[in-house]
A and B are shown apart, each in its own frame.
Chain A
Amino acid sequence: MKAFLLSLLLLVALTAVMVLGFRALDFSSSTVYTEKGNVRL
């Protein structure tokens, strides 16, 4: 039981890491391809 709860805690923590990581990469914005390069909106 202790191991299972620990694994759930780890699951939540690692999921939070992914959420923060994606936010840091700013995937909410769109990429527009232009002749001058890729522009994020």
Chain B
Amino acid sequence: MQLEDQGRRTGRRLIALLALGIAWIFVLSVTGNQVRAQGDPNSNVRPPANAVTPAQPGTIAPSTGEPRPGHYDPEMWRNVRKGLQGQVSIPDKKAGTLVQSGGEIWRNTRNGPLSRYGAYALAGMLALLIGFYLVRGKVRVEHGFSGFHLVRFDTIERVGHWLMATSFIILALSGLNVLYGRYVVRPLLGEALFADVTMWGKWLHNHVALAFAVGLLISFVRWVRHNFLDVTDIVWIAKGGGILVKGVHPAAKKFNFGQKVIFWLVMLCGVSLLVSGLSLLFPFQFGLFAKTFGAINWMAQLAHYNPGLPTALTPVEEMQYATLWHAILALAMSCVILAHIYIGTIGMEGAFSAMGTGEVDVNWAKEHHSIWAEQALRSQDGSSSGTAPPRPAPAE
């Protein structure tokens, strides 16, 4: 029994000593930190003579009535937070901006309204096309196929079109993946595969741009002379293009008003996409938006209006505007191209062969492009020396 009591007492002492040791280590560590925070008097490291001693947390430094120097000047930090541009001696002048507040606005805009309204626009266009198909159905060749064909687009025109189309589809899908992939594609593919797809998609996006530019150029050179507006377009618009009501076929030349609108939208959006894309490929090298805003301000002032667009933009702000503009245009163009693909494939009977084989049925041509069809038939009559095909349906 005596031995047991002695053992218990020895155990209690050991536990007490251990607890005391832990408490001592804790006290030492806390006080040691405080000593280091206050400056070790034995240390060789000394703050400069004009250094300001920081206030303890939770305390307010006494006001002297004078502006506080350095990093304790709240007004200066407020301005830095708002994007104050300082001076730097290195060539990278944008390093003079410590806090680029526009980045937060850019991120909120991109992930907020831009993504949201872009998705609405794409979904709305799809819904509109599905609704139109359900109500109107496929636009048929009312007189049936004649079996005789007219050459509508030659090889160069079709190469230009398909070059533009295939490159645009790659660009659109890889671009949409950058904007929406994390919400739509990642849950389907998983994180690892999504990362690979996105990486290669971005690589393709950067490198396919030249093909799109060449396709755009070929199409512009071959088709621009057919895409100026004229009187026939007014009649075409008045009759709703003839696709809203069966039996109505307004006259049109090689391209009708709807095709002309698509042509100019693709050309203008395409060029702007290429230019803004170029500025994204070569970051901080171009100052496009400051100049563009300046030109818009100048033109608006001619009409006695001042939009007040910013003309002094930092390189980072230029990039932010470029990414937003690039995305807005791409979304708008994707909506337009969805409608174009619809009417060129399932929406209209006989339309796809124009770009497929390059030829269209004579009756299709007479119903949708009657002026062009008459010209093409006349020129075919002349070139074939009296061996022209019969004319099954009258041009309307």
The interface of chain A, by Cβ under 8 A from chain B, is: 1-4, 6-8, 10-11, 14-15, 17-19, 22, 33-35, 37-38
State whether the Cβ of B163 lies closer than 8 Å to any Cβ in chain A.
yes
Cα A6 to Cα B90 with chains together (Å): 50
Q: Which residues of B lie under 8 Å from residue A33 when comparing CB positions?
A: 90-92, 95
Cα A38 to Cα B162 with chains together (Å): 42
Q: Which 3 A-B pairs have the closest CB atoms?
A: A3-B158, A7-B162, A33-B92
Would you call the interface of chain A mostly helix, strand, loop, or mixed? helix
Q: Which residues of A lie under 8 Å from residue B209 when comparing CB positions?
A: 18
Given that A2-B155, A15-B207, A18-B209 are contacting pairs, would A7 and B91 also be in contact in the complex, using a CB cutoff of 8 Å? no
Which residue of chain B lies nearest to A18 when distances are taken between CB atoms in the complex? Answer: B207
Cα A17 to Cα B161 with chains together (Å): 20
Let me know if B90 and A10 touch, CB within 8 A: no
Cα A21 to Cα B90 with chains together (Å): 29
Cα A17 to Cα B207 with chains together (Å): 9
Let me know if B208 and A11 touch, CB within 8 A: yes
Q: Which residues of A lie under 8 Å from residue B207 when comparing CB positions?
A: 15, 18-19, 22
Cα A22 to Cα B156 with chains together (Å): 28
Q: Which residues of B lie under 8 Å from residue A34 when comparing CB positions?
A: 90-91
Contact of B210 among A6, A7, A18, A37 (CB under 8 A): A18
Which residue of chain A lies nearest to B284 when distances are taken between CB atoms in the complex? Answer: A31
Give B146-173 as 1s and 0s: 1 = Cβ < 8 Å from A's Cβ atoms.
Answer: 0000000001001111110111000000
Q: State the Cβ distance, B209 to closest chain A Cβ, in Å.
A: 7
20 contacts between A and B (CB under 8 A): A1-B357, A2-B155, A3-B155, A4-B158, A6-B159, A7-B163, A8-B166, A10-B211, A11-B163, A11-B167, A14-B211, A14-B214, A15-B211, A18-B209, A33-B91, A33-B95, A34-B90, A34-B91, A35-B89, A35-B90
Q: Which residues of B lie under 8 Å from residue A37 when comparing CB positions?
A: 91
Q: State the Cβ distance, A14 to closest chain B Cβ, in Å.
A: 4
Give B327-360 as 1s and 0s: 1 = Cβ < 8 Å from A's Cβ atoms.
Answer: 0000000000000000000000000000011100
Cα A6 to Cα B92 with chains together (Å): 45
Q: State the Cβ distance, A36 to closest chain B Cβ, in Å.
A: 9
Q: State the Cβ distance, A40 to closest chain B Cβ, in Å.
A: 13
State whether the Cβ of B97 lies closer than 8 Å to any Cβ in chain A.
no
Given that A10-B211, A33-B95 are contacting pairs, would A18 and B206 also be in contact in the complex, using a CB cutoff of 8 Å? yes
Cα A20 to Cα B215 with chains together (Å): 20
Given that A18-B206, A18-B209, A19-B207 are contacting pairs, would A7 and B159 also be in contact in the complex, using a CB cutoff of 8 Å? yes
Cα A25 to Cα B162 with chains together (Å): 29
Q: Which residues of B lie under 8 Å from residue A8 when comparing CB positions?
A: 162, 166
Q: State the Cβ distance, B158 to closest chain A Cβ, in Å.
A: 4
Let me know if B92 and A10 touch, CB within 8 A: no
Interface residues of B in 232-283 (CB under 8 A from A): none
Cα A15 to Cα B358 with chains together (Å): 26
Q: State the Cβ distance, B345 to closest chain A Cβ, in Å.
A: 14
Q: State the Cβ distance, B98 to closest chain A Cβ, in Å.
A: 16
Given that A11-B167, A14-B211, A17-B210 are contacting pairs, would A3 and B358 also be in contact in the complex, using a CB cutoff of 8 Å? yes
Q: Which residues of A lie under 8 Å from residue B214 when comparing CB positions?
A: 10, 14
Let me know if B89 and A15 touch, CB within 8 A: no
Let me know if B210 and A10 touch, CB within 8 A: no
Cα A17 to Cα B167 with chains together (Å): 14
Contact of A7 among B89, B166, B357 (CB under 8 A): B166
Let me know if A3 and B162 touch, CB within 8 A: yes
Q: State the Cβ distance, B360 to closest chain A Cβ, in Å.
A: 15
Cα A36 to Cα B356 with chains together (Å): 58
Cα A34 to Cα B90 with chains together (Å): 6
Q: State the Cβ distance, B213 to closest chain A Cβ, in Å.
A: 8
Q: State the Cβ distance, B101 to closest chain A Cβ, in Å.
A: 22
